Structure 1
């Protein structure tokens, strides 16, 4: 099997980066007219900057409001609008589900795509993958595309204005990257691009972990006070670029499969992706039998950034075996990334690991 490493064509991060949206799109060869799919929050904060940037280049553009969920219906709606307008480029602006929707629509339309996250809550922006949900909020499928985004543009000014919960969720999502990358490295299972990992991808995953542990708590303090600090700059890069490159080119394993299992439980639907992935990380560590002192260190870190460490934090009773078994069954269905672990994994093992991780976390 070949080694494969993928990345976006261009990554731009900085204060007031929204002011350069059209110029950065132009720098990678993207063309007007442009359809910009935006969350309500991103539009309210950055629309004037987008307008001025597009005006400077004389680019025609339209804005389509995002409805809130990356579903097949929403993707088809964006595709229909893009085709009606005859656009040559598409921009997604907002949170992870907006970006996933825009990416999927651009792939169907075979047009260029730029992604402008307004929160640093996931590692979705740099990848060629969209997580698609059904109307009830359950994970339906991963859609993997032929190409990564042409441009990822991260405006630190917007990140600093967002609720700190979003940054913490991004830290939870990014925390999984090293552990899942290591599992795929040991098992020699394929990454998200159907190839083996490279030394570069694994090194990025490890650097992502080190950055998160070093700067995560300080970055959360900065956002809580709406400050762009050096720690925040490093964490946004870790959450977005390092984690994005690391997971896509190294691979996913138990943590994200357990996240998918958690989405089967209605009480988890109001929690962010990274908050659920955090429980997946702890369960993966228990499943792999990591030493207790290391496990406890991770729990202490998660508590320092106000991320969930117990099933009850997601509204789940660890003693409700029907719920636990539902999660475990979904996490281990055929084709799930949990089978990238370097040993066979069964639903019974996951059920035990969920409860073991919960019990170990309770002792910290």
Structure 2
């Protein structure tokens, strides 16, 4: 039977300077009892304005600072709070880990979910999945949901005040969207949500890439100076919405598998988006991409501060690289959406070659 094409996205998306002050007005239809699953920085940057949005209202609010990782034990802890406090709506306030933990909590407990990203470091807010980790930090699984979040609210002024390294990482995550989708379309792979890839999905993925190229550098300048500009707003939309909805409706490929391979080492410090950016270059190597296209992506990475060499991600031994390649190629990994069947050795060779090309570009 031919695979049905489909499109998925958050039911509501709100973005702009001062959006937190409108939180209750925008979300009041969902319920009266709220659990805010916060990162430390998320609580500090959002609590005051969120409380202002509830002025004059008697809604129940509980703010819970979670343990920093979307692990099995942290999700179970949040589930217990939802049950004990009779929560109507779970709200994620923070980066990718807080988002993933809150989405999983809401799903298991049958509650509505609202996402408030405080950094634009990944496309997790809009996607219909969570990355779940074991308690030791190693990758456990992708948890797929029957629908995307009920709402996503992004306050651009919060993103502007966050460290610029997170915005750069977000652009790295978003960079892979178009190229991973293009590879998946070529092999007639399903979308990330197991439907057929739509023209709309690919158009969003392409719009994500075009926005990055047009506004990336200017957005970094705005963020470095903690101001909201049209360029920064455009990049926030690209990294949060276009990348998330694009990825959901196309698919991932080598870049995200490379990242999962890196996490298999345990205790890594490289940002998700930085790994995905370097993984995009690895994918182009595997695809034997045109020299001009490869160098064009290198140029973009250099322009915005994304890595083009392994040393920019961390200190890896040759044994580490073989481990990364082996775990990135296990059954079910998205690297298999590439044409042909990528073996661990082929990925290892592509990692080495991509790193060498980056060193040559930097004159090292």
Fold match by TM threshold 0.5:
yes
- Counterpart selection for 1:332 from 319, 329, 336: 329
1:232-251 matches, within 5 Å, as 232-251=232-251
1:79-158 matches, within 5 Å, as 79-158=79-158
* Worse overlay, 301-310 or 6-15: 301-310
* Worse overlay, 328-337 or 54-63: 54-63
Does the CA contact (< 8 Å) of 2:270 and 2:314 recur in 1?
no
Question: Residues of 2 paired with 1:277 and 1:73: CA distance?
Answer: 27
- Write the deviation string for residues 46-79 of structure 1: whole angstroms up to 9, x where unpaired: 2121112123443211111121111000000110
TM-score normalised by L of structure 2: 0.96
Give the match for residue 215 of structure 2.
Answer: 215
By how many angstroms is 1:266 displaced?
A: 4.5
- Count the aligned residue pairs: 359
Question: Residues of 2 paired with 1:136 and 1:298: CA distance?
Answer: 34
Question: Residues of 1 paired with 2:311 and 2:208: CA distance?
Answer: 28
Give the match for residue 342 of structure 1.
Answer: 339
Question: Residues of 2 paired with 1:219 and 1:118: CA distance?
Answer: 16
1:359 aligns with 2:356: yes
By how many angstroms is 1:262 displaced?
A: 1.2
**Is there any run of 5+ residues in structure 1 with no aligned partner, and where?**
none
Question: Residues of 1 paired with 2:145 and 2:87: CA distance?
Answer: 20
Give the match for residue 8 of structure 1.
Answer: 10
By how many angstroms is 1:295 displaced?
A: 1.1
SS in 2 for 1:171: helix
Question: Residues of 1 paired with 2:339 and 2:351: CA distance?
Answer: 18
Does the CA contact (< 8 Å) of 2:36 and 2:64 recur in 1?
yes
Give the match for residue 25 of structure 1.
Answer: 27
1:42 aligns with 2:39: no
Give the match for residue 322 of structure 1.
Answer: 319
SS in 2 for 1:152: strand
Give the match for residue 265 of structure 1.
Answer: 265
By how many angstroms is 1:264 displaced?
A: 2.2
Question: Residues of 2 paired with 1:13 and 1:96: CA distance?
Answer: 17
Give the match for residue 288 of structure 1.
Answer: 287
By how many angstroms is 1:109 displaced?
A: 0.4
Give the match for residue 308 of structure 2.
Answer: 309
SS in 2 for 1:362: helix
SS in 2 for 1:308: coil
Question: Residues of 1 paired with 2:114 and 2:82: CA distance?
Answer: 14
By how many angstroms is 1:363 displaced?
A: 2.0
Question: Residues of 2 paired with 1:94 and 1:282: CA distance?
Answer: 29
Q: CA RMSD in A?
A: 1.2
Question: Residues of 2 paired with 1:56 and 1:63: CA distance?
Answer: 19
By how many angstroms is 1:184 displaced?
A: 0.9
Does the CA contact (< 8 Å) of 1:22 and 1:57 recur in 2?
no
SS in 2 for 1:55: coil
- Write the deviation string for residues 234-290 of structure 1: whole angstroms up to 9, x where unpaired: 0000001000010001111111001101112346x2221111111211111111111
Question: Residues of 2 paired with 1:59 and 1:266: CA distance?
Answer: 41
Does the CA contact (< 8 Å) of 2:181 and 2:251 recur in 1?
yes
Does the CA contact (< 8 Å) of 1:189 and 1:196 recur in 2?
yes
Question: Residues of 1 paired with 2:276 and 2:56: CA distance?
Answer: 41
Does the CA contact (< 8 Å) of 1:176 and 1:277 recur in 2?
yes
Does the CA contact (< 8 Å) of 1:190 and 1:197 recur in 2?
yes
By how many angstroms is 1:6 displaced?
A: 0.3
Question: Residues of 1 paired with 2:357 and 2:292: CA distance?
Answer: 10
TM-score normalised by L of structure 1: 0.96
Does the CA contact (< 8 Å) of 1:115 and 1:125 recur in 2?
yes
- Write the deviation string for residues 171-212 of structure 1: whole angstroms up to 9, x where unpaired: 000000000000111111111211111100000000100110
